[in-house]
Amino acid sequence: MMITNEKNDFDILRFTTVGSVDDGKSTLIGRLLYDSKGIFEDQLAAVQKTSGKKGFESDEGIDFALLTDGLAAEREQGITIDVAYRYFNTPKRKFIIADTPGHEQYTRNMVTGASTAHLTIILIDARKGILDQSRRHALISSLLGIPNFLIAVNKMDLVDYSQEVFEKIEADFKELISKLDLANANIEFVPISALKGDNVVNAGSKMPWYKGSTILEVLEGVDVQSTLVDKKFRLPVQYVIRTDNAEYPDYRGFAGQISTGTVAVGDELISLPSGMKSKLKSVTALGADTDRAVAKQSVTLVLEDEIDTSRGDMIVKIGEEPELRKEFNANICWMSETKFEPRKKYLLKHTSNKIKAMGTEINYKLDINNYDKLAATELGLNDIANIHFKLLKPIAADSYKENRNTGSFILIDEISNDTVAAGMIN
């Protein structure tokens, strides 16, 4: 098949960074971009033109924070409001950074950035230790199922590069996350100075006691694809492609992006919710058909038999069916200024499916700073809660823990059309 003819070890890692003013997040991103040459001179010059009024300057005389603040309002106020996406490459990998603000009022932006991340960088100021922000960040990263945590203890230059300070923070953080469900997560701690560059791209000479990887080495080393390929095969059908010509007479193909797993010609498949069964005949592609497809590919499958399948359905392997669920509990992050209303009908978008749904009961609300479960009767902007949902029709869904794609949904307000919540099925 086509993909095997290419060099496949150069892939993409998406990671998120969260932080508020002064904790050095923008400096860290600026440093990664600058040291890996991911920033252009004219973009740098445009920033330097408006620089000089705020922020920290590095040894190179650059206020890295200004590189990452994209909107005029952000540059004027010196804050990060929204999620910004940044790109850089090393010889090993392409990186996509979702750069989000850390303040509690921007929890929804953190959730957004975390939703697609393979890795999260949690920045901790070495002088201050673990703050509320770190607690929030760890909780959101764990709720959103990010598989890799990189705890960067920053500003080591301001604590004399002390091993003791670093180890104390490491111990405190491990204690903190023992309350979270992180049994399967890969967690690494790195002492750094983003401003001076120690242990970001290059190790530097200030912390000989630290034998671990630099930030970039961790970012380059994380495996993101194997785990997706190993899971059960899931193809949410997006579009049915039909045509009738000499090469493809009476053609009918089921198009979608494979969430997880792999599929090969001859595999016995079942379409949900209809329950109709068939076998994979071929995978259509411009150029030449193939006999196999893998997680994250956008493909078009042709089956042996004519079965009734359309947008919103899910094709899976026989014996690996997900549950059809009409009711479930889900963790949600409320993203709208309009409050959540129990029993109000929202539009729930799950894979390629849109269905009416209502939250019948708030099981509990999470205190995002100390992780306590609180009783609640209403939810507002940035609240994180566990809710019981009822759907108009059943959907084929996995739990979010098993599958971040077939276990997630958004809620849409039918009047304002706003995206009001992000949901993760239990």
Residue ranges in 74-133 that form contacts with other proteins under rule CB under 8 A: 75, 81-87, 89, 93-94, 96, 108-109, 111-112, 115-116
We find the least distance from the C-beta atom of residue 148 to other proteins, in angstroms, to be 17
Subset of 211-230 contacting other proteins (CB under 8 A): 225-226, 229
Could you tell me how far CA 87 lies from the centroid of its own chain?
Answer: 15
3-state secondary structure (DSSP) of residue 350 = strand
Least Å from the CB of residue 77 to other proteins: 12
Q: Can you read off the two tokens belonging to residue 309?
A: 């399948």
Question: Which is closer to other proteins, CB of 131 or CB of 381?
Answer: 381
Q: Considering the complex, state which of residue 68 and residue 386 has its C-beta at the smaller distance from other proteins.
A: 68
Closer of 354 and 390 to other proteins (Cβ): 354
Q: Are 403 and 259 in contact (CB under 8 A)?
A: yes
**Cβ at position 169, least distance to other proteins in Å:** 31
Print burial letters for 135-168: b (CB count within 10 Å at least 16), e (below 16).
bbbbbbbbbbbbbbbbbbbbbbbebebeeebbee
Range 276-315, binding other proteins (CB under 8 A) = 284-286, 294-298, 300, 311
225 vs 399 by CB, closer to other proteins: 225
Residue 306's contacts (CB-CB under 8 Å, 6 or more residues apart) are 252
Q: Which is nearer to other proteins, 40 or 209 (CB)?
A: 40
| 82 vs 172 by CB, closer to other proteins | 82
Q: Give the chain's radius of gyration (CA, Å).
A: 24
Task: Tell me which H or E stretch contains 142.
Answer: helix 132-143
Q: Which region, judged by CB under 8 A, interacts with other proteins, from 192-200, 206-214, 347-355, 378-386?
A: 347-355
CA distances from 290 to 252, 286, 346 (A): 16, 10, 40
Is residue 162 close enough to count as binding other proteins by CB under 8 A?
no
Q: How far is the CB of 50 from other proteins (least distance, A)?
A: 5
Partners of 390 in the beta sheet?
Answer: 327, 358
Which H helix or E strand runs over 231? none
Query: Scanning residues 17 to 56, which ones bind other proteins (CB under 8 A)?
Result: 37, 40-43, 46, 49-50
* Beta bridge pairs of residue 349: 354, 410
Distances (CA, A) of 192 to 144, 200, 346: 26, 6, 45
Q: Nearer to other proteins by C-beta: 206 or 248?
A: 248
Residue 396 binding other proteins, by CB under 8 A? no
Among 177, 301, 303, 335, binds other proteins (CB under 8 A): 335
Among 9, 59, 250, 308, binds other proteins (CB under 8 A): 9
The answer to the question of residue 184 lying near other proteins (CB under 8 A) is no
| Residues 259/315, Cβ–Cβ less than 8 Å | no
Q: Of 81 and 265, which has the nearer Cβ to other proteins?
A: 81
CA atoms within 13 A on the CB side of 251: 17
Asked if 246 touches other proteins (CB under 8 A), the answer is no
